[in-house]
Amino acid sequence: MRHGTKKNILVAGGAGFVGSHLCDALLASGDKVICVDSFLTSSPDNILALQNNPDFTFIEQDICDELDIRQPIAQIYNLACPASPPFYQADPIHTMMTSVTGTGNLLRLAARHGASFLQASTSEVYGDPEEHPQREDYWGHVNCIGPRACYDEGKRAAETLCFDSLRTGQVDARVVRIFNTYGPRMQPNDGRIVSNLIVQALRNEPLTIYGDGAQTRSFCYVSDLVDGLIRLMNVQPNAGLPVNLGNPGEFTIAELAEMVLTMVPTRSTIVHRPLPQDDPQRRRPDISRAKQLLHWEPKVALAEGLAHTIAWFSHTLAEKPVVQRA
């Protein structure tokens, strides 16, 4: 806990998986948090423990609607956007507008308050990458008319808004490109790979692998990501460049499924389902920039992070059974 004046920090998407862990960390370091969220893809359970904290305020609002907040704001984190493919494809136009109109609204709020701004962008700006690993100076390979475009192109446009706001001197904007992150408080039915595999194994249901399972991802545990987000928001001076945050360990989806099968006592087997259109084949972050600028690198190995996540899902599902999306 820091001593001295508490900063007011706005976290848009603060009820989400990553956002709720960020709210916890900011409150633990002695700041005040204003959380703005519409609960589009999250559960109020994620912030239940914070509701009686006098330093925590919750505003239920869609960021596509203009925000009018009078109290001073020192920093704004924008994490508001569905992140799981089935969720962001459910209402693709709203997903795109969340990144464009929503980010525009929050940037205007930051300009009015003189607040620093951190935009949660994504490794998806690299699309199905033709360079490996992905460095921040790679411009990407995105299908702008495919089913993932609402997310990828929305996030690319949001980056443009941030860098134009920075170049024109309106906002101290920072952009993080987040690679696949997992941990407690992912929605059990959100369709992402880590939550799907764990929930399926815990229920003795078949583990669904899309395609042959040779596609790769790099999995970062949520506490490592949150540490990186806070470092990027606070580093001085603002380098004015996007920064990759992710764990460079690269695994095939088949390897991940095997790990889950060895870690969860289960009768589950593996089934294959069709590979979704435009599914990226390989993904691994080059984190040289984060190491140099933020002195950051992930600390939690995949086996350790999976063990925490399995324990959390096991407890949560026992309390609250849900219908899963696969």
Catalytic positions? 151
Place of tokens 């399972």: 213
Q: Which residue is nearest to ligand NAD (CB)?
A: 16
Spatial contact of 1 and 28, defined as CB atoms under 8 Å apart: yes
Burial class (CB in 10 A: 0-12, 13-18, 19+), 168: exposed
Binder among 20, 38, 43, 208 for ligand UDP (CB under 6 A): 208
Which member of 33, 193, 300, 310 binds ligand UDP (CB under 6 A)? 193
Residue 193 binds which entry of ligand NAD, ligand UDP, none, CB below 5-8 Å type-dependent: ligand UDP
**What residue 210 binds from ligand UDP, ligand NAD, none (CB within 5 to 8 A, per partner kind)?**
ligand UDP
Q: Which does 102 bind (CB under 5 to 8 A by kind): ligand UDP, ligand NAD, none?
A: ligand NAD
Q: Does 209 bind ligand UDP (CB under 6 A)?
A: yes
3-state secondary structure of 248: coil
Asked if 205 and 268 count as a contact pair (C-beta separation under 8 A), the reply is yes
Helix %, strand %, coil % of the chain (to 5): 40, 20, 40
In this structure, are residues 265 and 202 in contact, taking their beta carbons and an 8 Å threshold?
no
- Residues in the site for ligand NAD, rule: CB under 6 A? 13, 15-19, 37-42, 62-64, 79-83, 98, 102, 120, 122, 178, 180-181
CA dihedral 4, 8, 13, 19 (to 10 degrees): 0
CB of 273 to ligand UDP, least distance (A): 7
Size of the site for ligand UDP (CB under 6 A): 15
Residue identified by tokens 């993932």 is: 148
Is residue 276 a contact point for ligand UDP (CB under 6 A)? yes
> Which is closer to ligand UDP, CB of 30 or CB of 147?
147
Are the C-beta atoms of 95 and 154 separated by less than 8 Å?
yes
Q: What is the DSSP letter of 1?
A: -
Task: Residue 107: name the closest of 117, 99, 92 by CA.
Answer: 117
Partner whose footprint covers residue 21, from ligand UDP, ligand NAD, none (CB < 5 to 8 Å by kind): none
Among 243, 253, 260, 300, binds ligand UDP (CB under 6 A): 253
Nearest to 196 by CA among 207, 183, 182, 185: 207
85 binds ligand UDP (CB under 6 A): yes
User: In Å, how far are 18, 78, 162, 280 from 36, measured between CA atoms?
Assistant: 14, 9, 19, 31
Q: Which stretch binds ligand UDP (CB under 6 A): 40-48, 100-108, 133-141, 210-218?
A: 210-218
Helices (H), the chain: 17-28, 85-90, 92-97, 103-113, 149-167, 193-202, 222-234, 253-263, 288-294, 302-319
Stretch that binds ligand UDP, among 24-32, 45-53, 55-63, 209-217 (CB under 6 A): 209-217
Give yes or no for residue 279 binding ligand UDP (CB under 6 A): yes
- Closer residue to ligand UDP (CB): 17 or 117: 17
Q: What is the smallest separation between the CB atom of 210 and ligand UDP, expressed in angstroms? A: 4
Nearest distance in Å: CB 171, ligand UDP: 28
**Contact set with ligand UDP (CB under 6 A):** 84-85, 180, 192-193, 196, 208-210, 215, 217, 253, 276, 279, 326
